[in-house]
Structure 1
Amino acid sequence: MADYKQALVKDGKNPEGLIVFPAFITQNEMDALKHFRVGDRDTFVVAYPKSGTTWMEQIVHLLGNNGEQGDKVLSEAVPWLEGAATRYGGLETLIKTSGDRRYFHTHLPLSLMPMFGETKAKYIYVARNPKDNAVSYYYHALSKMGYEGSWSEFITLYREGKVAYGSIFDHVWDWWKASQHSDNVMFVKYEDMKKDLAQVVTDVANFIDIPLTSDLLETVVAASDFSAMAINPKANLDWVPQREGIPKHMRKGIVGDWKNHFSSEETSSFDALYQSRMAQFGLEFEFDLTYSN
């Protein structure tokens, strides 16, 4: 079966277990991240890969910057926590960053989140229906992770949790539970962002204590629209190297694209897995919308 380059990192919940990580994030980087000090006014955008991380980063950045995009590209304005070893001047530089308000994004499972629950930091977790997530992740693996296999091979790896950051079900479950027991964790669904972005922006602003005027709301919603972000050189991640001939980071941004990829057999198999893993959550996702924005 086709595979792609990866690293293995110790599972924070199970010392004997290992979680698949991107090849450049090794145990050394994760050990160094333990020295990162989380501040009371820090905000973290958290998501399993390809669940709407960049979209929420843009919202948080614009809210915190009075609606201005600014001079930095989005991945510098809202740095990738565990990916800092090869970015932003290195992990040591990121660890030493300070400021009244800091914004970061991460794909870390809850068990590996530094200092979680020890401060008043805020965590915005974005979750996406697993079928669309799998499709988006497949193209991401092709373009940026060196994956060279087929869709059918990838969906098998995905179902088994053998892709970077492990099983989407484990990832979502732990953060969902945290959101039910902590006022500092906000759980947002990608599909709700598609249906009513203005409401989500309003809720996020309230959650991170950003005063929201009607003008700021209008600005943030307009600049966070998928079509606007796709042509924004500060927000579309076109600066990240990727394989030629593969769709860009901001590919479609719709709900229901999974129907163009899943075979009937794959749908049945995935539905059974979804029901067995999600039944415990009390959490439901929408797998199709009659419109996109």
Structure 2
Amino acid sequence: MDLLVIEKPDDEILKKVETFCIEDLVKMSLKDDPSKFCIMPQKFVDQDRERIKNMEIFEDDVWVVTYPKCGTTWTQEMIWMLNNNLDYETASKIVLEQRYPFLEVSSILKGYPTDKVEICKNLTRPRHIKSHLPYFLLPDQLWTVKPKIIYVVRNPKDTALSWYYHHKHLHDYTGTKEELIAAFVKDLMFYSPMNDHVLDFWKIRNAPNILFLYYEDMKRNLDQEVKKAMKFLNKNYSQDEIDKLCIHLSFNSIRNNPNVNKDNAIVKYMEFFGKKYDQSNGFSFIRKGKVGSYKKELAAEQNLMLEKYADCSRLKDSEFEYKFG
């Protein structure tokens, strides 16, 4: 029995955030709770939602789950290194996307050349899997088998700003920053709504198989957050080993690491569509990695819209608060 309702929201802003590779966005909502929904491409509905829902999960899986643009890549590299005995040699030979693949990317990006769901299913255990899906679209067995899940949250002002640059430079978005932020606060960007995405994991943050991290804490004190993750993964490393890992995970190191920064994969994907990955303006997949960029880059009206979004009643009732730095 299908427990989801699929519909096309009647809002012009939705069409404006669609691009050559992110198209035909629809609203997927639960039949028994229409307030629980997610914006996704129709391709995901047709191709992967049932396969992912029914995916076999193993207790030794290690998942990184985030709303997009919340430090996912950074966290993946940290978790993979910690869980693989700080294997710098392998990390220097195999790109992160192969070590820690993105589960639903094949049904998010038009024309994506490989089936990542099948790849994730067949990974050598312990499997390391990344997803941006909300709680209710993730595999059912995640909540019964209970593998380790690392969830990372970032404040919505920096997240929305990063979304804009990502969508513009990697998805060929031609709309304005104002239009994208309007879609974001209306919960009409794909993977939205962000607030519900975060709240569902906040509610289970104290479960023994969940590690709930803040991007802002990782920026403020990486050593401390690495130690949290190390303990969560039942690993034990010396301070010297942790210091070396923190250097490996520093922004400049990650941004310039071809096995982590995804630049080569993006070039190939965009060339497939006759597009150019333009880095002439200094843009790269890992852009600035800062807390508080919104202070200089958002207009007063955009800032106010996102403040209201981050101050909604559901968040207040939960006692969750974003960290703005």
TM-score normalised to the size of structure 2?
A: 0.81
Could you say which residue in structure 2 is the equivalent of 1:222? 247
Q: Does 1:44 align with 2:63?
A: yes
Residues 47 and 13 (structure 1), Cα distance of their counterparts in 2 relative to 1, 3 Å cut: farther
Listed one character per residue, the Cα deviations across residues 119-152 of structure 1 (whole Å, up to 9, x for unaligned) are 1301110000110011001111112233210111
Alignment of 1:15-164 (within 5 A): 19-22=38-41, 25-67=44-86, 68=88, 69-84=91-106, 86=112, 90-99=116-125, 101-114=126-139, 115-164=141-190
**Bigger CA drift: 136-145 or 85-94?**
85-94
Q: Does 1:253 align with 2:316?
A: no
CA apart distance, 1:89 = 5.3
CA apart distance, 1:35 = 3.5
Residues 54 and 13 (structure 1), Cα distance of their counterparts in 2 relative to 1, 3 Å cut: farther
Listed one character per residue, the Cα deviations across residues 46-97 of structure 1 (whole Å, up to 9, x for unaligned) are 1100000001001011112322124211111111112256466543333233
**Amino acid of the structure 2 residue aligned with 1:131:** K
Residues 30 and 107 (structure 1), Cα distance of their counterparts in 2 relative to 1, 3 Å cut: same
3-state DSSP class of the match of 1:162?
Answer: coil
CA apart distance, 1:21 = 2.2
Could you say which residue in structure 2 is the equivalent of 1:3? 17
CA apart distance, 1:269 = 2.8
3-state DSSP class of the match of 1:111?
Answer: helix
3-state DSSP class of the match of 1:20?
Answer: strand
Could you say which residue in structure 1 is the equivalent of 2:323? 286
Could you say which residue in structure 2 is the equivalent of 1:271? 307
Give yes or no for contact 2:135–2:201 (8 Å, CA) kept in 1: yes
- Among 227, 241, 244, the alignment partner of 2:278 is 244
| C-alpha distance in 2 between matches for 1:274 and 1:251 | 23
> Any stretches of 5+ residues in structure 1 without a counterpart?
289-293
- Among 183, 187, 191, the alignment partner of 1:165 is 191
> Any stretches of 5+ residues in structure 2 without a counterpart?
1-12, 271-276
| C-alpha distance in 2 between matches for 1:144 and 1:32 | 27
**Amino acid of the structure 1 residue aligned with 2:299:** S
CA apart distance, 1:13 = 7.2
Listed one character per residue, the Cα deviations across residues 177-230 of structure 1 (whole Å, up to 9, x for unaligned) are 1214x2211110000001110110111011112222223312221111111101
| C-alpha distance in 1 between matches for 2:133 and 2:222 | 25
**Amino acid of the structure 2 residue aligned with 1:33:** I
Give yes or no for contact 1:8–1:21 (8 Å, CA) kept in 2: yes
Residues 125 and 169 (structure 1), Cα distance of their counterparts in 2 relative to 1, 3 Å cut: same
Count, aligned residues? 286
| C-alpha distance in 2 between matches for 1:13 and 1:226 | 43
CA apart distance, 1:22 = 5.0
| C-alpha distance in 2 between matches for 1:219 and 1:128 | 25
Give yes or no for contact 2:71–2:215 (8 Å, CA) kept in 1: yes
Give yes or no for contact 2:38–2:134 (8 Å, CA) kept in 1: no
Residues 186 and 12 (structure 1), Cα distance of their counterparts in 2 relative to 1, 3 Å cut: farther
Residues 23 and 59 (structure 1), Cα distance of their counterparts in 2 relative to 1, 3 Å cut: farther
Residues 12 and 222 (structure 1), Cα distance of their counterparts in 2 relative to 1, 3 Å cut: farther
**Amino acid of the structure 1 residue aligned with 2:191:** Y
What's the Cα RMSD here? 2.2
Give yes or no for contact 1:66–1:216 (8 Å, CA) kept in 2: no
TM-score normalised to the size of structure 1?
A: 0.89
Could you say which residue in structure 2 is the equivalent of 1:291? none
**Amino acid of the structure 2 residue aligned with 1:122:** K
Aligned residues with identical type, % of pairs: 28
